[in-house]
C-alpha cells in the first residue's frame, strides 16, 4: 500500500494523505517545529487541538541534548515528549548553514561543535539515518549539504554532488522498518542546477521529496521560480516538502505550485515577540492600539486565545511579562495556520483553490501571483 494518497489536483495545487507508523496526516500540512522535542510553551494536547497533525523535531539538537540513548530508553520521541502523532526529524544538514561557524564538512560527513558544551559530534549519512531511527521518527530526512545564497558556483557544485552521494548512502543505510525516508533536492540557485538535482534525487526512489537550500536569503521571486522548476521534476505519487516556510503568503504560493508539506519556527517565534497571525496579516499585540481593544485576535478563530480573551488582555500579559501570553498567542498562531491549510485543502477538493488564494491574498493586501 502506498504511503501517499493523492486525493485531488486543482491546477497544480494538491490535496492528499500521508500514512505513517503513528497515523495519517492530511496535506497540505504545516508542521510546527519542536526543536528540543517540544513546541515552545505548549502542551502536546494543545498542539493537537490546534489542528496540527504532524510535528518536526531536530535530530541534531536532540542527539546533543538530552542524547539518543536517553530518548531511546524512554521508548522513543513519542513516549518521551507525549505526542502520539507522526513526527518528522531534520537530519542536521541545515545546521551546516545556520551553524556554519562551528561546523565542518567533508565527503564522509559533517563535524559539529556543540553549542552547549563545545563537544564535537561527527555525523555521516549512515549515522544520520540511524540516529533518526533511534529517536523513533516516522519520517527521516537524508543528510544533505545546503549552501548559503551568494556562495561561489564551485562551492554550490561541490555541495550538490556531495548531497547526491550522501543521498545514495542514506538510501542504502535505511532499514525497511516502516519509517519513511525523504530525499532532499539541492542544486543552488540556478534552474539548471535545481533541475539536475531533482532528477538525480528522484531516481533514487525515496518515499518523499524535499526542496532544500531555499529560503536562505535569496529573493522571493527566485525562490518561487526555482521551486516551480523542482516540482516539475518530482513524482506525483510522493509527498513534496518545502523546508523552512511559515507565513500565509509563502504557504499559499507554495501550495499553488504543488507542494504538500511545510515547517517553520515563525508562528511560535512571532508569538513570543507579541505578534499574532490573522487573515489580514500580522497583529502586534504590544502596540498601543491594542491597549483598550476588547475584541479577540480573530472573531472566527476557535482557539483558547480568541475564545475568552481580548487583545487588551493579551497586551497586558506581554507588558507584565506573563508566560501565559506566549502560550495563548502560540496556540492561536498554530491554529491559524492549521485552519488555513485545512481551508486550502477543502478549496482544492472543491476545485476552487485559485479563488480561495486570491481572496486570502486580497485580505492580506497582496496581489495574487
Is 90 noted as a catalytic residue in this protein? yes
**Cell numbers standing for residue 27:** 496535506
SS3 of residue 102 by DSSP? helix
Q: How many CB atoms lie within 10 A of CB 182?
A: 25
Q: Is 122 exposed, middle or buried (0-12, 13-18, 19+ CB in 10 A)?
A: exposed
90, 144, 248, 260: the active-site residue? 90
- Please check whether residue 4 is in contact with residue 17, taking contact to mean a CB–CB distance below 8 angstroms: yes
Q: Chain-centre distance of CA 265, in angstroms?
A: 8
Q: Is beta strand 87-90 parallel, antiparallel or unpaired with respect to 55-58?
A: parallel
Bridge partners, residue 88, by sequence: 56, 139
Backbone angles phi, psi at 264, to 5 degrees: -175, 155
Is the CA virtual torsion 202, 204, 205, 208 positive or negative? Answer: negative
Is 359 noted as a catalytic residue in this protein? no
138, 248, 260, 263: the active-site residue? 263
**Cell numbers standing for residue 333:** 498562531
SS3 of residue 87 by DSSP? strand
- Please check whether residue 87 is in contact with residue 138, taking contact to mean a CB–CB distance below 8 angstroms: yes
Q: How many CB atoms lie within 10 A of CB 295?
A: 11
- Residue whose entry in the numeric block shows the C-alpha cell 506581554: 318
* Radius of gyration for the alpha carbons in the chain, expressed in angstroms and rounded: 20
**How far apart, in whole angstroms, are the C-alpha atoms of residue 342 and residue 335?**
10
- As annotated, the active-site residues are 90, 263
Amino acid at each position: 500500500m502506498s504511503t501517499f494518497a493523492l486525493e485531488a489536483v486543482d491546477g497544480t495545487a494538491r490535496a492528499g494523505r500521508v500514512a505513517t507508523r503513528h497515523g495519517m496526516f492530511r496535506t497540505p500540512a504545516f508542521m510546527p517545529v519542536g526543536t528540543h522535542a517540544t513546541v515552545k510553551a505548549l502542551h502536546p494536547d494543545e498542539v493537537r487541538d490546534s489542528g496540527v497533525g504532524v510535528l518536526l523535531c531536530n535530530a541534531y539538537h536532540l542527539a546533543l541534548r538530552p542524547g539518543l540513548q536517553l530518548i531511546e530508553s524512554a521508548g522513543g520521541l513519542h513516549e518521551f515528549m507525549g505526542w502520539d502523532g507522526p513526527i518528522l526529524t531534520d537530519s542536521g544538514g541545515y545546521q551546516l548553514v545556520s551553524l556554519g561557524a562551528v561546523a565542518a564538512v567533508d565527503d564522509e560527513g559533517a563535524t559539529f561543535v556543540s553549542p552547549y558544551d563545545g563537544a564535537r559530534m561527527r555525523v555521516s549519512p549512515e549515522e544520520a539515518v540511524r540516529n533518526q531511527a533511534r529517536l523513533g521518527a516516522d519520517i527521516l530526512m537524508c543528510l544533505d549539504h545546503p549552501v548559503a545564497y551568494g556562495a561561489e558556483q564551485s562551492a554550490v557544485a561541490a555541495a550538490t554532488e556531495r548531497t547526491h552521494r550522501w543521498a545514495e548512502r542514506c538510501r542504502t543505510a535505511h532499514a525497511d522498518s516502516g519509517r519513511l525516508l525523504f530525499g532532499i533536492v539541492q542544486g543552488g540557485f540556478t534552474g539548471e542546477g535545481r533541475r539536475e538535482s531533482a532528477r538525480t534525487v528522484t531516481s533514487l526512489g525515496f518515499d518523499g521529496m524535499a526542496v532544500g537550500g531555499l529560503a536562505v536569503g535569496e529573493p522571493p521571486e527566485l525562490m518561487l521560480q526555482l521551486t516551480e522548476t523542482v516540482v516539475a521534476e518530482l513524482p506525483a505519487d510522493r509527498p513534496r516538502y518545502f523546508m523552512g516556510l511559515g507565513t500565509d503568503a509563502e504557504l499559499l504560493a507554495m501550495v499553488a505550485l504543488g507542494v504538500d508539506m511545510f515547517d517553520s519556527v515563525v508562528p511560535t517565534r512571532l508569538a513570543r515577540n507579541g505578534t499574532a497571525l490573522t487573515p489580514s496579516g500580522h497583529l502586534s499585540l504590544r502596540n498601543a492600539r491594542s491597549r483598550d481593544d476588547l475584541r479577540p485576535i480573530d472573531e472566527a478563530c476557535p482557539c483558547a486565545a480568541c475564545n475568552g480573551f481580548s487583545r487588551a488582555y493579551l497586551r497586558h500579559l506581554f507588558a507584565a511579562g506573563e508566560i501565559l501570553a506566549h502560550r495563548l498567542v502560540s496556540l492561536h498562531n498554530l491554529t491559524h495556520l492549521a485552519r488555513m491549510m485545512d481551508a486550502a485543502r477543502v478549496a482544492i477538493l472543491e476545485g476552487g483553490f485559485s479563488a480561495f488564494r486570491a481572496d486570502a491574498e486580497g485580505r492580506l493586501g497582496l496581489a495574487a501571483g
